[in-house]
Amino acid sequence: MSLFTRRAVDDAALYGEPMQGTTPREIDPAGAQALLSELFDPGADRLAHSLGVGRRAEQVARVLGRPSLLVTAAYLHDVGYAAAARDTGLHQLDGARYLRSLGASAELTGLVAHHTSATVEAAERGLDVTLRREFPAPSGELLDLLTYCDITTSARGETVTVDERFEHIYDRYPPGHLVSRSMQHAEPGLRQMVSRIERQLDRPTR
């Protein structure tokens, strides 16, 4: 067991769930990458995708002058798929709960909990009330920027267009599958958001 994991396990045991009365510990982008390499196998698509989204967020944060919280959240946005975190099947909720058990801040867990239209899939799974109660939706644009990075990064971690990304998702999950149904529902809003952020990236303002 690595130092990081041992500390995380110790912390989770110490903090319990939900954490109350404890000081949140900030995870930085380097810590996020170290955690990913412990949670996913080296060749796993989830690892490649997570690293790709993190790298995309590094570019976006640099161009738009946004905080490293965005980058950390991008690296960790899909930890809910890791065996150590999986519980309800709603990966945004599972990931946010897992990070909370490690002492992550409410800002970080809120971003992970709500990325990429989580509430749409949460409603499909009957978990929308739970999600909102445990993790209030973040205000501000960081959530959109995180979702933008996710939706423009392929399952293997390459930068793709939003059209390619939706095509891959619908190939991966057949029609009628809960994930493809949720994405269809969320697609118009996600496309609008992507166009808005691409305009911002063309003409960065701080």
The residue range among 59-67, 137-145, 147-155, 185-193 that interacts with Fe ion, by the rule CB under 5 A, is: 147-155
Instruction: Return the number of other C-beta atoms located less than 10 Å from residue 72's C-beta.
Output: 28
Q: Which is nearer to Fe ion, 19 or 74 (CB)?
A: 74
Q: Which is nearer to Fe ion, 127 or 150 (CB)?
A: 150
Q: Does 78 sit near Fe ion (CB under 5 A)? A: yes
Q: Does 150 sit near Fe ion (CB under 5 A)? A: yes
Shortest CB 89 distance to Fe ion, Å? 15
The distance from CA 14 to its chain's CA centroid, rounded to whole angstroms, is 25
Instruction: Return the number of other C-beta atoms located less than 10 Å from residue 46's C-beta.
Output: 18
Are 150 and 49 within 8 A, CB to CB? Answer: no
- Closest to 60 (Cα-Cα) out of 80, 69, 169: 69
The residue range among 2-10, 77-85, 92-100, 194-202 that interacts with Fe ion, by the rule CB under 5 A, is: 77-85
Q: Which is nearer to Fe ion, 19 or 98 (CB)?
A: 98
Q: Which is nearer to Fe ion, 101 or 152 (CB)?
A: 152
Residues 105, 56: Cα–Cα separation, whole Å = 22
Shortest CB 134 distance to Fe ion, Å? 20
Are 89 and 125 within 8 A, CB to CB? Answer: yes
Which positions lie near Fe ion, rule CB under 5 A? 78, 150
